[in-house]
Amino acid sequence: METHFSTTPFGRRRMTLGMISSQVTARAVSKDVTVHKWHVFQDIKDARVALGATDRALAILDALLSFHPDTALYADGELIVWPSNEQLIRRANGMPPTTLRRHLAVLVECGLIIRRDSPNGKRFARKGQGGEIEQAYGFDLSPIVARVEEFKDLAEAVRSEKKALRLVKERLTICRRDIVKMIDAGIEEGVPANWGRVQQAYQAIVGQIPRTAPRQTFEAIAEELEGLWAEVREALESFVKTQKMDANESRNGRHIQNSKPDSKFESESGPGNKDEAGGNVADTDNVRSLPKRELPLGIVLDACPNTLWLVKGGGGIRNWRDFLAAAEVARPAMGISPSAWEEARTEMGEQQAAITIAAIYQRQDQINSAGGYLRSLTDRAKAGKFSVWPMVMALLRAKLDASKTTGTGAEAAAVELETAGKIVRTESRLEISDALRRSLDKPGRRS
């Protein structure tokens, strides 16, 4: 007997459309259907969220299934179990009675079981003279048999979604690892690109990755990250191809041109590049005629005042040790790799290399790749064609020109330039080459 409303010790229960739908589905099932109760229960667990069931409700369903003596459930068999609340509580790991009632209602609402209530609301079975069950009142498990295909399809969909989510997370992990390795390789090998911007773009994308989110969210982030991966890969491959095509050009610090106009990387070759670090080394034909004495720290700081920004705590630069420490801070900030820095120190000397770093930092807004430019200067130093003197003198000249334009500090800048010039003339006892003089006296020269 099916009742739409019944009175129980816990009050009056309400029949919903969902319950009626479950009863209709159970009546329509073919009599030939047989299911393995634990297999279908696994599908129900996997599809729990889609069905609207709770973990506690499934623990109760597990207990209800255990009260059925057979593993196989037959559509034409007896599928009603009638355990008491006390028995259910024991098999549901000591669940409180109020919680039990609440989650039994969830199972009914989800259409996983049907209540078969007796007139007094008790659960029991009435047997005939031969011991056969004539009438049972309790929980009907027939929806599990009737909806077995639905549960299977829902579980497959959930498993497929979980697999797709796992795969996209693996894509993210691999892509992140590859990008970090390629950035490190690019910096280490002096590949000309704005690696600082690449790292910022990478961090911006990675910062969007949430702890939990729908698969579509991870897919969108993975596509964005793979786009950056392609940009970095193209820059490295183009550099390798350029080196193979013209090894001499690569050694002289000529840089690859990215084929994409909207690339994240900046070209460093071709017309229109700005003068770098305040001096054109190619114009310095007589570097060996420059003084052998080291540049005074004061003149270097006058030419490269931006270096003072790098001092922690604003304590200033009092000696060459402080200056070298500031250069160590400037190097990674400009994306110069440790190998390029070590090579520069080996070829130029630690102090000269630090001055070169300071000069590049002073004009970093005019240099597309600080690491590539430093390697170019290092190559020239190996050939004896580079000195920090023209770089510093050019920076002082630029400072004087800027002071004249603004009308401030012109006299001080002129004194600094004259002091540096005196060192060149008096201490070396040599004449400045014509090329260097042209570099220093060139009016309005951009530094």
Predicted confidence (pLDDT) per residue in 94-110, tens digit = 888 999 999 999 999 99
Which region among 57-71, 339-353, 432-446 has the lowest average model confidence (pLDDT)?
432-446
Which amino acid is present at 238?
S
pLDDT at 321: 87
Q: How large is the angle between the packed helices 350-362 and 320-333, nearest 10 degrees?
A: 50
Region of residue 94 (phi > 0: left; psi between -120 and 50: alpha; otherwise: beta): left
pLDDT at 10: 39
Mean pLDDT of the chain: 76
241-253: average pLDDT? 57
Which region among 2-6, 43-47, 284-288, 434-438 has the lowest average model confidence (pLDDT)?
2-6
If one compares 378 and 281, the residue with the highest pLDDT of the two is 378
Which amino acid is present at 427?
E
pLDDT at 156: 94
pLDDT at 409: 52
Confidence of residue 265 (pLDDT cuts 50, 70, 90): very low
- Given the structure tokens 């993210």, which residue do they identify? 172
Given a cut of 60, whether residue 421 has pLDDT beyond it is no
Confidence of residue 255 (pLDDT cuts 50, 70, 90): very low
Distance CA 345, CA 270 (A): 29
Distance CA 128, CA 134 (A): 6
Confidence of residue 77 (pLDDT cuts 50, 70, 90): confident
Confidence of residue 205 (pLDDT cuts 50, 70, 90): very high
List Cα–Cα distances, 383 to 54, 102, 378, in angstroms: 76, 86, 9
Own/partner contacts of 425-434, CB < 8 Å, gap of 24 or more, are 427/291, 427/293, 428/289, 428/290, 428/291, 428/292, 428/293, 430/289, 430/290, 430/291, 431/289, 432/286, 432/289, 432/290, 433/284, 433/285, 433/286, 433/289, 434/285
List Cα–Cα distances, 280 to 136, 207, 274, 361, 440, in angstroms: 100, 41, 11, 16, 10
Specify which residues 114 forms β-bridges with. Answer: 140
pTM: 0.45
Given a cut of 60, whether residue 249 has pLDDT beyond it is no
**Pick from 225, 223, 220, 229: nearest CA to 204:** 225
If one compares 420 and 51, the residue with the highest pLDDT of the two is 51
Which region among 13-27, 88-102, 258-272 has the lowest average model confidence (pLDDT)?
258-272
Confidence of residue 445 (pLDDT cuts 50, 70, 90): very low
> Which of 28-32, 107-111, 249-253, 329-333 tops mean pLDDT?
107-111
371-398: average pLDDT? 87
Given a cut of 80, whether residue 437 has pLDDT beyond it is no
Confidence of residue 356 (pLDDT cuts 50, 70, 90): very high
Given a cut of 60, whether residue 358 has pLDDT beyond it is yes
Given a cut of 80, whether residue 63 has pLDDT beyond it is yes
183-198: average pLDDT? 85
pLDDT at 282: 40
Predicted confidence (pLDDT) per residue in 388-411, tens digit = 888 888 888 887 777 666 555 555
Given a cut of 80, whether residue 278 has pLDDT beyond it is no
